[in-house]
Each structure stands twice: as C-alpha cells, then as structure tokens.
Structure 1
C-alpha cells in the first residue's frame, strides 16, 4: 500500500499539527478578510471589528459546509460555476473599494470614532466577502482531503478541521485588528482619514483584481 495513503488513514496529532500550520499560513496571508478587518477597526474601533470578524467566520463556515456537502468539489470541477461566483466576488470587492476610496468624512477623528457602526451591516458585509471568494472553497477542496482518514466519519473530521480553521482565522483577524488600533493614532485629521480611505479602497480593489485573474486550475 502507498505510504502516503497510510499517512492519510491516520488522524494523528502530527497530521493535525501539520494542518494547523497550513491553516495559520492561509490566515496570515493578507487578503480581503484582513483588509476588511483593518478598515473596520480603524473606522469604528476594536469592539466593532469583532462583529465583522464574526461575519468573516460565518462566511468561512458556510464554505466549509459547502465542501462537506460536496458542493465544493462541483465548484472545483465546473468552470461555469467557478466563473459565476468569481465574478460576483470581483464585483463586490471592487464595489467596496470604490465606496471606500470615495468616502468623504466631514468629521474630525474624535467624531469619526464616535460614529455608531451598524452591526448587521458590518456582519453581512463580512459574510459576503468570504462566501464570494471561490478560491477559498477550491483551496478547502484541495486541502481537507489530504488530512482526512478515509476509514472514519467524514462529517466528524470536517467539523474538527473546519473548527480548527475558524479558530485560527479568528485569532489572526483579532491580530490584524490590534495592528490597526496601533496605526489609528497616525490618523489625526480629515486629510489623514481621506488618505486612509483611499489606501483601504485601493486594497479592496486590488484584492478584487487579484481574484479577477485567478484561474480555475
């Protein structure tokens, strides 16, 4: 029997730790989620960013469930399905970027931070950011089977590995939020706010552009 097959037939602590490392690398790599987290933190503060973080994880959980149900495999094989979701994601990220880039604040920093965020809007926007990224689903389709025991319950293993990814990403996004709070003191007037908006707007549009050139394979 192939040694790699034997290795996959055991969910040992070593296998789980290898998956944990892969999940950390995936989460730490800057993407639309990190941009979304930092932008919300710098605009509304750390506590509000936790709501957005929750939305990101709900979006990720949705993708994990899709993979568990086999829809992820269909997406990985279907050029049409991949393209539809990809272009929806591209359009949404570019829309967020355009909106942020052109956001004009007539408030000083103290007043800006005093704004009350709309929790539901923050939450739903973050959910959409993650579920409209087909590359994350394809990544899950490619990654999860490599760490699963073919002789045991697939659902239980999906739940374990999925929970691992969600916990890791939650911690990493909190780290990005804390980083954003450190940078917030650099924004001292309306001009700085405009610069910040344009930076994050450009980053959102950049994330959308990267998704646009993503291939199916």
Structure 2
C-alpha cells in the first residue's frame, strides 16, 4: 500500500486544524447557543464538504483551482457572499424583536430560537465548501507529503485527506467542548446576543479578508 510521509504531516495538520477559522468559530458559537451535541452533529457537514474537497484534489481538480484565475475567483466570491450573509444574519439574530406584552414581559430574543441539527449541518457544509482556502489547503498542502516513490499518488492524497479529517474532527471537539462548557452557565440573553453579534462581525471580517485574497 502506498505510504505517504505521515510524521511531518501529523505535525503540520494540527497546527492548521486548531487555528481559528470560520468553521471553528461557527462550531464554538453553535455550541454556546445550543449545546455541544448539536454543534458536534453539525460538524458532519464540514467533514462531508472537506471529504469532497479531498476527492477533488485526488482527481486533479485542486490543481485546476491553483492554476485557473477564473475558477478561483468564482469560488472566492461564492465564499464571500455566504460569509456576508452569515454575518448579517447573526447580527439580526442578536437583536430582540417585538415589544413587551401587557404583562411587561421583554421582547422575544431571536438569538434564543433553536435551529434544527439539519440547519446547522447545512450551514457548516456551505461554509466549508465555499471557502476556496480550504480547497487550496488540500490542493497545496497534501501533495507536499506524498512519497512519489511509494506508488499511487491519488491513493496517498486520499489517505492524507482522511487523516486530516480525523485531526479536524479532534479540533472541532475542542471548540464545541469549550462552547458547551460556556453553554452550561446560565448566561443572560443579552450575553448571548453579544456573542452572536461578535461572531457575526468576525464572519464579516473573514469575508473582507477573503475578498482581497489571492491564490
């Protein structure tokens, strides 16, 4: 069986996976809002998207993104648009809506409304799949650890990609664990709204950085 260079890969992969990014911040936020279990289930969306990117890299589509400016630009602006949408949506969710009722109860807190696990999973999937930096990561990083003397390059790329998914899941468990611990505290609605607002601003900042990114 073709054997890639695992030792240097297992040093580089955690450094990349544990670095805060759009998906990791999304997991943290989801865990704070709805608990670690819901957030961890949603991570399956991210891993599914990354698996597609790994397979795309193995069949040579990653090289197309690295060499084609139009393809990279199209994927980039899809990512920018979705991150902008998320940022604005989170800001909206950070605002209470309605007016106090006759009993004096406060307005409904939009940030406290629960979303289904399917909604969270689709959100993770879309963020991961529309981020060109994720495909660039697999297209540019994985080939560096391929042993060309060991046999099939596509098989090694898939093996390395699956290895990265394991590391990514471990990183997601850390982020969701931290978010779940925060969720266990009885945070007032205002604090949760501030968290949504802060995450939304971060998503907008990531979108801005991506808009000016080059290959």
Q: How far 1:184 moved relative to its partner?
A: 3.1
1:92-147 superposed Cα distances (whole Å, 9 cap, x missing partner) = 011101100111352499xx3xx653122111111111111111212222211111
Q: How far 1:159 moved relative to its partner?
A: 2.2
Q: How far 1:189 moved relative to its partner?
A: 1.7
- Greater Cα offset, 71-80 or 97-106: 97-106
- In structure 1, the partner of 2:101 is none
Contact 1:72 1:137 in 2 (8 A): yes
- In structure 2, the partner of 1:6 is none
1:33-61 superposed Cα distances (whole Å, 9 cap, x missing partner) = 11110111111111101121111111111
- In structure 1, the partner of 2:165 is 166
Contact 1:38 1:176 in 2 (8 A): yes
- Greater Cα offset, 93-102 or 147-156: 147-156
Contact 1:11 1:147 in 2 (8 A): no
- Greater Cα offset, 181-190 or 144-153: 181-190
Q: How does 1:66-77 map to 2 (within 5 A)?
A: 66-77=56-67
Q: Quick one: which of 110, 116, 121 aligns to 1:118?
A: 116
Q: Quick one: which of 91, 95, 98 aligns to 2:88?
A: 98
- Greater Cα offset, 90-99 or 133-142: 133-142
Structure 1 alignment gaps of length 5 or more: 1-9
Q: Quick one: which of 11, 22, 31 aligns to 1:21?
A: 11
Q: Distance in 2 between matches of 1:91 and 1:187?
A: 34
Number of aligned residue pairs: give it.
Answer: 201
Q: How far 1:185 moved relative to its partner?
A: 5.2
- In structure 2, the partner of 1:214 is 213
- In structure 2, the partner of 1:79 is 69
Q: Quick one: which of 129, 132, 145 aligns to 1:131?
A: 129
Contact 1:108 1:189 in 2 (8 A): no
Question: When you count helix as a share of all residues, which structure comes out higher?
Answer: 1
Contact 2:143 2:157 in 1 (8 A): no
1:134-181 superposed Cα distances (whole Å, 9 cap, x missing partner) = 112122222111111224122321221011100000010110011112
TM-score normalised by structure 1 residue count: 0.86
Structure 2 alignment gaps of length 5 or more: 97-107
